[in-house]
Every structure is written in C-alpha cells, then in structure tokens.
Structure 1
Amino acid sequence: MCGIAGIYNYHSSKEPSTEQNVKKMLSMINHRGPDESGVYLDENLGIGNVRLSIIDLSSGQQPMCDETGRYWIVYNGEIFNYLELKLKLESTGVRFKTNCDTEVVIQMYAKYGSECLTQFNGQFAFCIWDRNKKEMFLARDRVGIRPLFYWSQNKTFAFCSEIKGLFTLNQIERSLDQESLAQIFTFWTTLAPKTPFKNIVELQPGHFMKVNSNGIQIQKYWNMNFTSGKEAQDRSFSESIEELDELLHDAVKIRLRADVPVGAYLSGGLDSSVTTAYIKDIDSNILNTFSIGFTDKTYDETAFQLEAAKFFGTNHTAFSCTSEELAENFAETIWHTEFPILRTSPTPMFLLSKKVRESNIKVVITGEGADEFLGGYNIFKEAKIRRFWANEPNSTARPKLLTKLYPYIPLLKDSPDLALKMFFGYKLKETEDPLYSHLLRWHNTSRLKSFFTDDFAPSLDKSDPINIVYNNLPENFGTWSDLSKSQFLEANIFMSGYLLSSQGDRMAMGNSVEGRYPFLDYRVIEFCNQLPDNYKLNGLNEKFILKKLSIGKIPDSITSRSKQAYRAPISNLITQKSTSYLKDMLSDESLRTYGIFNPEKVKNLLAKIETHGLISEIDQMAIVGILSTQILYKKFIQEPVIANVENLKNYRIIDQSKL
C-alpha cells in the first residue's frame, strides 16, 4: 500500500520546480507510505510514490520501469492475483527483476494496454507514464477502494492519492463547492467525480484516464451489473452456497499474500466472523484480531467480539473507546476524511487502526461489502416493508413492522402511530419510482440543508442532487428487481463515496494500515449480483445465504443474531465535556466568519441538545455535519497546508535526462 502523486505540464517548457512540487505532495501523504519514497522526472513531468512495504520488501522500490524503459509507474494498492499473472507473462518471454506486484502491473500494461485492467483482481490506483507517446495512463479499481484525485487547469495536470497533497501546489485555489455540500447533505457523500472542493475531482471507480497534449480522456472499463428477472432463478440454493463458499475461500486466500503479518478486524458480526473463519482454515497459525467497543453500552458489541475471538482462538486485542476519546480525535479524523461526515463512526475506526499499527501489523482483513451485495442493510428491508404498507396505506399494523428494524433508535422505537406514518410515509405510494428505496433517507438527510446561511443556500437551488442520480442510472436499471436497484444505489453511492473512503481507506491509511476486503473481490460481487433476491433477503432475513454458509464455521449465536448497524456515540462532541477546539468550531464567531451555516439556527440546535439530551437522528446528523464542515473549512481553506519534505524516508530521484 502506498500513496502516489504527480504533475504534468503538457504544453509548457521544462519546469524546474517539478521535483519540489511532487515532493511537497508526497510529504502530505507520507502516512500512506512511511517506509520509502521516490520521484521520476521527465520533460515537463514528475511522478512520485511513498511506499508502505508489504510485498517484496527488499526490492520493488518505485517509481519503476518495464524491461524496455518505455513505461514508468507509481502505484498504490495490491493486485492479489499477481502471481498467476506473472506466470502468464513469463510464459510469453517476459523477464522480471523483482518479486513484487508493481512490476506485474507495468508489464501487463506494456503487453495489453488498458485491457490489462480486466485481468486485475485487486484494489489499486496507479499512474503509468509512456515516454514514447508522452502520455499518462491512470486507473482506479472497480469499486473505488483506493483513492485518486486530480486537478487540471491552464495546461497543467496534477494528481494525488489525497486532496491535501494537491493543496500544496500554489496554483490550486482552495474553496468549498456549494453544490458538493448539497450532495453530501443529501447522500452522505458527493456524487463522483465531485469532491467537496471546487475544481478538485476524483477518477471514478472502474474507470481509467489518459492525459496527453490533446487533453484528458476518461473511459469506463467495468460495470456493476445485476441479473434481471427469470435469469436469476436457474441456480439451486445448495449449488449457490457451494460456489459462494469456494469464491470466498479463494478471495481470502489471495488476500493473505504478504511478506508481513496479516491481521483481521473482528467486530462480533457475521461478516468479519466469516472472514476470520476462512483465515483460520487457510492458515492455522495464530491470527491477530482486533475489535473496538464503547464504554457507552448503547453502541457496544464487545461480548460478541470476545465470544468470536475465543471460538477461533485468535490473539485478540480488544479496545474500548470512550466518548471523550471520540471528541479528542474528531478533528484529526476530518483531516484524513477530507470530506464532511454525518456520523462519528470514522473516528473509532481511526483509533482502531492506530492500535493495529502499534501491534506492528500493516495489513488487516475486513468484512466490508457483504451488506451491500448480500442484502444486509436495513434500508433494503425498510423498502420491502414500505412497499407492503403501500398496498394498504391506511393500515396501522404494517408501519409498526418498521420499528423492529431500528431497536437502537429509542425515539423511533417508542414513536406513536402518527409519528411513524409521518416519518416513514414520505412518497409511500410511489413504489414505481426507480429510487424508491432511498428517497426517504435522502429526503430526511436533505433537511440538514436548512442550516445553511441565506447567502450560501441560493446556489443550492440550481439543481436537485437527486435529479443527477435519475439522469445517470444504467441503461438496463429498469429491468432489475427492486432489491437489485436498492443494492446498486447503496454500493455505487454510499459504499464507494463514504464507507470505503471516509470510514475505510482514510482511517486505516491515516495510521499506515492497509485494509483488504474479500467480499469486494470482483468475482464475489459478480456472483452475488446474479443470485435470486430471496437467496439474499429471504422475507426480512438478511444475508440469508451467508448465514446458511456460516453454520458450523462461526458461533451459532453470531449466525442467528440480528443485524446491528455500526454506530458510535456523539454526545461529547457537543456537551460541556467536549474539547475547546470543537466548541470554538461551533461558536457564533466561527460560524459567522466561515459563512456556511446560520448561527442562530445552530445556536437553537445546541440549546435543544443541551436541554433534552436525547435527540433525533436528524439532529444528530445535523450537529456532526455542521461540526465536520466547520473543521474542514478551517483545516483546508482558512489555515495554510504546509508541506514538510524532510519527513520523506529513503528518498531517491530518477531523472530521465541523466539516465
């Protein structure tokens, strides 16, 4: 795992500051690769890398070239099937100098061009420079596990693994994008390729781009397709379990490839327990597992975590997080997310990855992806219940089914019938709407935009963010089942834009830890997307096929337990115990200075929280969203982004003019 950066002045003479600019970007993402660093320079171009050494520790330094010297690569990620691809290349006469997957990537590109991407099973973002064509080729993995941001203006192109690196370049203006904030306060994230900042965009998952003197060309190489209608019904349940078992076993096996110890997150839920079971089956040596609990018992799952650790006999590190620790580390979390967030959940993941790194573990296996592709989230069940209710909209019994989904939300659990209907009844009868499953969530979240100032708000009315989703649905979206539509929206927007970034990559790499996700193996995704709906969501029983597969592999109590959403406390972010820094971010002076949120409305919200203590989900999201946006503005807009190139370790430079 690494971080990458580069700059290309494709219409200008040689820029003497290119090396320094690339080094500045790399220094801002040094946490992604603290072991080694390097820069390659060519005419008008510089590309660089900071390396977290995981495979082939003794060699594999970057930037790296192919055997002809025509192609140079900087690479962030892992290609898990690199050994198989290496054998394939060697059979055609290609010779290798290293044992790392980086060289496999560049040799595959040299032989197959952009078609190489379809053969990669991994998580990656990389840039390859073609010296002959004077062209950059950049690519990102299928579902966006690894990040890649870029900026292009005035005949200059720059890219980096994180936005903060781009902000070290003097020519890049730093300002928030109002349309992006409207999207975040609707979907929890922006709609790719947008980011919270003007003129900073991301290369979308499953896409590659070429940059040359003619400009930028972007192309999609993978689609998240779902089998529609009767096509999905020809697979027996027993055969499906067997095939899923084989796929997951191999997905875990190839993700254990590393020249450093590999650990695993063990949350006490189904997904992480299943992946841990496969790890123990593949390698019976002592496995290091890690979990996080909360002193606030409302959110704590420690009992299940310890039960799983005992069952598997792992070397387990259990970490309990206090509300005070959440408050103390919240600002640093936003420095790494580079996005406003609406939940405090990323902060515990940041603290957990810190514990992992303190144990000298660089790689962890985690269970992300199972909920999205096997129907695990409550939003899928919620949509099913609302459709059932819509058949008899005047029913008082049917909406009560919704309270069973959210026992961890007291205000919802105890709501009277009228309140339930008001909360869940939004566009209840519009069951033919292609976005039906998510309209309620997005509507409730979009209410947060009422906190914006009058000066900020008018620009938000130019376009409804939801219309953008309508206009960019896949051509065959209408032929998919209701569940498939829901899964696509959840995976394409929420998973990629928030779960794998703000809560995933950024929190782990903030402590130089690489997360690996067997459920996001593209073969597993494509298999799950062809399963009949009732193999995934059977009635209201989520991840049905995975539960059946898990019998005998994990503790029965975990197989049978109800889905519990991962959540973290927010109380001390805004109480008397919160840090002075957080209080200052919500002060009348800061709010007026930044000009994003209405000070009077925020003041009323804070008073409501102080008075009542227990607040609604909307109010919780509002206070976290406001606070995180304020912090983002302070750290990325108001304060200077200062690079320290002295922190780069084992730095080397390759200057093409001197070769």
Structure 2
Amino acid sequence: MCGIAGIIQSDRHTVSQAELQSMIDMLSHRGPDASGIKTCGTVGFAHSRLSIVDLAGGAQPMQSADGMLSITFNGEIYNHIELRAQLASRGYQFQTHSDTEVILYMYAEYGPDCVQQLNGQWAFAIHDERQQQVFLSRDRMGIRPLVYTQTPSRFIFASEIKALFTLPDVERKTDLTALNQLFTFWSPLPPRTFFANVFELPPAHSMIVKNGQLKIWQYWKLDYSPNEETRSLDDWAEELRALLIHATQLRLRADVNVGAYLSGGLDSSVTSAIIRNYTNAPLNTFSVVFNDKEYDESRYQQEMIQELGTEHQTVCCSYEDIGRVFPQVIQHTEKPVLRTAPAPMFLLSKLVHDNQFKVVMTGEGADEILGGYDLFKETKIRRFWSRQPDSKIRPLLLKRLYPYIKNLQAQSPAYLKAFFNIRPEDINSPFFSHLPRWELTSKLKTFFSNDVKQQMIDNDPLSDFSDQLPEQFSKWPSFCQAQFLETVNLMPGYILSSQGDRMAMGNSVEGRFPFLDYRVVEFAARIPIRFKMNGLNEKYLLKYALRDVIPESIRQRPKQPYRAPEAHSFIDTKKQAARFEYVDQLLSTNKLQENGLFNPTSVQRLVKKIEQGRAIGTRDNMALVGILSTQLLVEHMIDKQPIASGNNDPAIMKLLA
C-alpha cells in the first residue's frame, strides 16, 4: 500500500517538483520504503511506496514502454496474474512483475472501462499523453482514499488531505454542511469532506481531468433487487464458502508475510480459519485486549488461537493508552470521530508493524453484506411492531437488541418503546432503519455554537442523503435498504476510513478484506433475507457455510461489535480531572470561543457531568469524543497549532511548519 499525489496545471505552467516533494513527504507513513516523482510539463505525479508485490521492480510513478502512459497507484490488484496473462495473449510485453504495470496496460487496452475487470482495492491516476487527460479511479467499496481540490490554476489530488495542505494556494476551512452531516451519519456524504472545497472521489467512481474540466461517473452499483432464485440453503452455503476461500487465497498474494487480525468474533475467525485450512501460508495473528472487561473479548480470542494453533501477539489497551494516542489518531483520520474505536486499532497496527508485518487480513464487511448488525435486527423488529403498533407484546422483542449495552438493557419497556419509536410518518421513510440512530447522533448538535446553528438552519442532511439514493431503492426490501445504507455510508466513511485505512497506514500496514471482494458482495446482495437473518439469528448463512471450521462457541456467541472505552479515556472521574493537558486546553472556554464551533457553556456542563461520574449514556460519550476530535482537527489542520501532548507524529508535524 502506498501514498499518491499529483498536480495538474490548467494555466500552462510547469509543475513544481519541490511542491510534489512536499506533498509526498507528508505521506511517508503510507509508504516508507521508497518515493518517486515524475513530471511532464503541466502534469506531475508523486508516490511513496510500501513494497509488497515485486519488491525490486515495482517503483513508481511508472511509465508504459512507449512513454505515453504514467501511473501513480495506491492499492493491490489481486487478479493481476490472470490479467497479465490476458494482456500477454494480446501482445503486451511486461518489464516488471508488479500489478501496477498491469493497470497501465489494462488502461491501454480498455481505456477507463478497465476498472470493470479489476479485483482489488485501489486509488490511482493515469496520465494519458495522447488524450491529454488524467484518468483517476477509486475501488468499488471505498477501501482506499482519494481526495482532491481545485484552485483557479490547477487540480490537485492525494491519498490524504494533509498532503494537499502543504501547498500555499489550498484553503484551510471547515465545511459546516459536512460537519452537520457527520454529526448525523458519523461521516460526511461524499464528495464532501470536513474541509471546505476539499473533496473525495466517492467509492466506485472514476474521473477524467481534461482542459481544467472534471468528468465524474459511477462505474459499479450495488443492487438488492428481489430475485426469484429457488436454491437450497446448502446450495447458497456452498457458493458462499467457495467465494470466500478464493477471495482469501487471492489476498494472500504478496512478496511479504501476511498476518491476520483476530478479534474473537465470527468474521475474523472465519478469515483466519480459511487461511489455516485452505492455504499453505503461515498464520500469524494479532489482537487487541482491554483492561476494561466490558470491551474485552480475549476469552474468545484465546479459544480461536488454540483451535487454529496460530503464532499470536496481543496489545493491551487502557483508558490512558486511548487518551495518549488520540491526537495522533485524529491527525490520521482527518475528520472528527464520535467514538474512540479507531485508537485501539492504531495501537494494534503498530503491534503489527513492530513485528515486521506489512499486510494483515481482516473481517471487515461481513456484517454489512451478510446481515450481522443489531441494527438489522432492530429494523426487523420495528417493522414487525409497526404492523400492530398497539401491541404490548411485540415491543418486548426490543429487549433482544444490543445486549452488550448495559444501560439500554436496564431501561423499562416504556423507555425502549419511546427510544425505538415508530411514528406514522416514518413507516414509508427510505431511512426507516436508521432514524433512531441518526436522531440520537443529531442530538449532539445541541453543543454547536449559536452561530454554527444559524448557518446550518437551512441545511437538511437527510434531504442531502435522499438525493443520492438509487432510483430502485424504494423497491428493495426494508432489510436490504438498511444494508445499503450501512454499506455506502458508515462502512466507507467510518469503518474502512477512520477505523481502517487511516489507522493501519498510520503505521505503514495494509489491510485486506476477503468479505469485500466484489464477487462476494454481489453474491451476498442476492442471498434471500431469511438466510442472512434466520429469525433474529444474524449471519445465518455464514455460520452454516463455515460450520466445520469454526467452533460452536464462536458461531453461537452473542454478537458484540468492536467498541472501546470513551469519556473515561480523557477524564478521570476518580480524580475529577482531565488525564491529559491537551484535553484541558481544547475544552477550555477560551479555546472553544476562539474556534467558534461549540457552545462553551454547554461543553463545560458536559465536562462537569463526566467528572462527577454522571455521564453514562451513549449521547454524552459521543458528544465528548466528537467535540474533542473536532477541536483537535481545527487546531492541527486549520490553525496549524501543535497540541501540548508530546505525542505529535513527526511526519505530520511538518504540516504545522
């Protein structure tokens, strides 16, 4: 995995190599093994390399043999061997064994449509001198990032926003519409980012930059249209199993060792078990455990370690650890977060890096595509309840939800009915499944300053999202609508970004995701709902398909999504004080007033509540994390001020110069 950057001048000036160097230096954490720059008049590319495939011959930016095509590429094309053979049969000759060169000649043969044949994760740019254009593309699921901006004289792109901000003509300013969306959906709706006039290319989209103009289109779409397939459970299970085994085998293609995350949950257990049972690859696994037993899954991790006989390494995470690395975490996320869950993932990827591994296999995507989240159970129960809204029995099923959230489980049936309420106007809403979650998150906006609230008054995040829904969305089953919303919003915007790419690449580690092989995703969209969730038994087909390689206790354990301690990581309720100087600094009345995004009185009231041990709910925890992470971003990336934590990443500190 790598970092990429580029500049396309629209004013006929030649590209500055010094500017490209400053951009790629900022991305050295993504590719510490090598770097390169190539300029051709008004177009310049830069690349920082994490060497994984063809260690000797895969240097970038790379040119075609005739010099007419140049590429800078971040990602992996897992079917590059098959595509290379296809191209060789058409007369193409290769100088390297890298997947990068395969992309170049796939573009030469098929043009922008080449991405339809790629199986992998990518963000790349190709300079086509004959066509006098630059072609950019991002993978189907949004695993790898690609951000860009335009100034009056040029188009600029990179893997991360901090690289754009090394250039003097790129404005640093908060996008309040994006902030409003983030404090609703947990991430802005693409193409918006937290920063005004800085955009991300959405997942499954490509772009052509030519004569200063942008042409952007979607090349792949999810489709949950009901199908008439009459297949047995065993038939569906056999195909899912075969697809997952092959997807995992493809993702073991590398010229370096590949490890695996092992959380103790079903998904990472499946990927690890496939590696052990269906490949000859050595199995090295890595886990995070917590001092706070509410979040710890080490019991299940140990069970899988014994079952698979893995070489295993563990990092233990405390409240203090989360608070200590949080400024670094936010420097990498480049957007506010509402949960601390990325922080332990950052520590876990450091463990991987320290053990000399560059690649890890993980189980992300299984919950979204195979129906694993409690949100899907919630949707099913609320739909069932809505058919008899006066029933006293049906709402009792809500007790089956979120067993790991003790405060919610302690509430009365009346409270649960009110929290998961079903208003008549919500029944036909395209967002029926997500309204309770989004309404809870939106309550955090009460902490915004009056000025920010006033500027947001005419902005409706739900309307923004509605405009992005596909035409056929209303024809899909409610369960599949919920899956779509998770897959196109929370997964790329938070799970694969803030928790995924940014945390792993912050320590020069590449994540690979067998469940997000596009063939698996397309297959999963066709699976009958009753095989995804049998009653309230989530991921039923996955459990059935891999039942011979996963212990019964792992298959039958209650669903516990990955979580981490939150408010207590920053404020010690026993000492009634902030654990770190930066927390006091950023939540002070003066700093809140200076930045202008949050109401100092409301924030101070929240801090006092936490200090007194009275902040026990999800809303208070999310509020503190969201406010603190936003303040960190403003301080670092807009005001260019160091944080008094002593933990600033040296490479990122260049941004403050």
TM range (shorter): over 0.9
1:32 alignment partner, SS class: coil
Match status 1:196 vs 2:194: yes
Corresponding residue to 1:384 among 380, 395, 398: 380
Q: Is the 8 A contact 2:73 2:124 kept in 1?
A: yes
- Deviation per CA, 1:315-340: give whole Å up to 9, x if none: 01122111110010111100000010
Query: Which residue of 1 is the match for residue 613 of structure 2?
Result: 612
Residue 10 of structure 2 corresponds to residue 13 of structure 1: no
Deviation of residue 395 (structure 1)?
3.3
Superposed CA offset, 1:295-327 (max 9, x none): 000000001011101100000112211111001
Residues 88-111 of structure 1 deviation map (CA, whole Å, 9 limit, x = unaligned): 011111100000100001011011
Runs of 4 or more, structure 1, over 4 Å off, are 640-648
Name the counterpart of 2:443: 447
Cα distance in 2, alignment partners of residues 463 and 250 from structure 1: 45
| Alignment correspondent of 1:506 | 502
Aligned match of 1:539: 535
Paired position in structure 2 for 1:4: 4
- Mean alpha-carbon deviation: is it higher for 141-150 or for 125-134? 125-134
Q: Secondary structure at the match of 1:308?
A: helix
Residues 395/646 of structure 1: CA separation in 2 closer, same or farther (3 Å cut): closer
Residue type of the partner of 1:113? Answer: G
Q: What's the counterpart of residue 157 of structure 1?
A: 155
Aligned partners of 1:31 and 1:509 also within 8 Å: yes
Task: Report the alpha carbon displacement of residue 646 of structure 1 after superposing the two structures with TM.
Answer: 13
Q: Which runs of 5+ in 1 are unaligned?
A: 649-659
Identity of aligned residues (%): 48
Give, in angstroms, the shift of residue 115 of structure 1.
1.2
Normalising by structure 2, what TM-score?
0.96
Partner Cα distance (1:294, 1:207) in 2: 38
Cα deviation, 1:159-191, whole Å, max 9, x if unaligned, reads 000000000010011011111000000000000
The one-letter code matched in structure 2 to 1:9 is Q
Alpha-carbon distance, 1:285 to partner: 4.8
- Tell me the residue number matched to 2:601: 600
Matches within 5 A, 1:492-641: 492-570=488-566, 571-575=568-572, 576=577, 578-639=579-640
Tell me: CA distance 1:341–1:426, structure 2 relative to 1, closer, same or farther (3 Å): farther
Within-5 A mapping of 1:24-423:
24-228=22-226, 231-423=227-419
User: What aligned pairs does 1:425-504 form with structure 2 within 5 A after superposition?
Assistant: 425-427=421-423, 430-504=426-500
Bigger CA drift: 308-317 or 273-282? Answer: 273-282
Task: Give the match's secondary structure for 1:58.
Answer: coil
- Take 1:583 and 1:428, find their aligned partners in 2: how far apart are those partners? 45
Aligned length: 644
1:652 alignment partner in structure 2: none
* In structure 2, C-alpha distance between the alignment counterparts of 1:426 and 1:442, rounded to whole Å: 14
C-alpha distance in structure 1 between counterparts of 2:652 and 2:314, whole Å: 35
Matching residue's letter, 2:397: L
Write the distance in 1 (CA, Å) between the matches of 2:36 and 2:652. Answer: 13
Which range moved further: 377-386 or 515-524?
377-386
Post-superposition shift, 1:647? Answer: 12
Gaps of 5+ in 2: 643-647
Q: Please give the alpha-carbon distance, in whole angstroms, between the structure 2 residues aligned to 1:167 and 1:218.
A: 23
Residue 382 of structure 2 contacts residue 422 of structure 2 at CA under 8 Å; is this kept in 1?
no
Partner amino acid for 1:185?
F
Q: Offset of 1:387 from its aligned partner?
A: 1.4
Q: Aligned partners of 2:634, 2:133: CA distance in 1, in Å? A: 35
Q: Which amino acid aligns with 2:612?
A: T
CA shift digits 1:215-270 (9 cap, x unpaired) = 11111110011132xx2542221111011111001000000000000000000010
SS at match of 1:263: strand
Higher relative contact order (CA 8 A, sep 6+): 1
Distance 1:600 1:577 in 2: 17
Residue 69 of structure 1, CA deviation:
1.0
Is the Cα contact below 8 Å between 1:269 and 1:558 reproduced in 2? yes
Letter in 2 for 1:639: K
Cα offset, 1:402, TM superposition? 1.7
Question: What is the DSSP-based 3-state SS (H/G/I as helix, E as strand, rest coil) of the residue aligned with 1:88?
Answer: helix
Assess if the C-alpha contact under 8 Å between 2:257 and 2:358 holds in 1: yes
**Is this contact kept in 2: 1:60–1:98, CA < 8 A?**
yes
- Deviation track 1:438-467 (CA, whole Å, cap 9, x = no partner) reads 111111111111110001111212221001
CA distance in 1, matches of 2:651, 2:611: 45
List per-residue Cα deviations over 1:480-513 (Å, max 9, x = no partner).
Answer: 1111111000100000111100000000000000
Q: Which amino acid aligns with 1:67?
A: A
User: Residues 512-542 of structure 1: CA distance to partner in whole angstroms, max 9, x if unpaired?
Assistant: 0000000000000000001111110111110
AA at the equivalent of 1:203: L
Residue pair 1:56, 1:99 contacting (<8 A) in 2 also: yes
Which AA in structure 2 matches 1:618? R
Whole-angstrom CA distance in 2 between matches of 1:283 and 1:546: 20
How far residue 399 of structure 1 moved from its aligned partner, in angstroms, is 2.4
Q: Is the 8 A contact 1:299 1:567 kept in 2?
A: yes
Q: Distance in 2 between matches of 1:646 and 1:461?
A: 35
Query: What TM-score does the superposition give when structure 1 sets the normalisation length?
Result: 0.95
Q: Does 1:424 align with 2:425?
A: no
Matched-pair contact (CA < 8 Å) for 2:275–2:281: no
Counterpart Cα distance in 2 of 1:248 and 1:295:
34
More moved, 634-643 vs 33-42: 634-643
Which range is displaced more, 614-623 or 120-129?
614-623
Alignment check: 8 A CA contact 2:328 2:649 kept? no
Q: Is residue 327–residue 573 contact of structure 1 (8 Å, CA) maintained in 2?
A: yes
Asked whether the equivalents of residues 343 and 621 of structure 1 are also in contact (C-alpha less than 8 Å), the reply is: yes
Secondary structure of 1:529's counterpart equals helix
Q: For 2:248 and 2:42, how far apart are their aligned partners in 1?
A: 42
Offset at residue 433 of structure 1 (A)? 1.7
* Between 380-389 and 143-152, the greater mean CA deviation after superposition: 380-389
CA-based RMSD of the aligned residues comes to 1.8
Distance 1:478 1:647, change over 3 A: closer
Tell whether the 8 Å contact from 2:241 to 2:546 is kept in structure 1 after alignment: no
Partner of 2:645: none
Specify the alignment match of 1:654 in structure 2: none
Amino acid at match of 1:574: I
Counterparts in 2 of 1:218 and 1:287: CA distance versus 1, 3 Å: same
Amino acid at match of 2:585: D
Contact 2:4-2:48 at 8 Å conserved across structures: yes
Q: Indicate conservation of the 8 Å contact 2:35/2:47, yes or no.
A: yes
- Deviation of 1:581 after TM superposition, in Å, equals 1.1
Tell me the amino acid that sits aligned with residue 629 of structure 2: S
Give the Cα–Cα distance (whole angstroms) in 1 for the partners of residues 493 and 443 of structure 2.
20
Partner of 1:657: none
AA of the residue aligned to 1:305: Q
Q: What residue identity is the alignment partner of 1:19?
A: Q
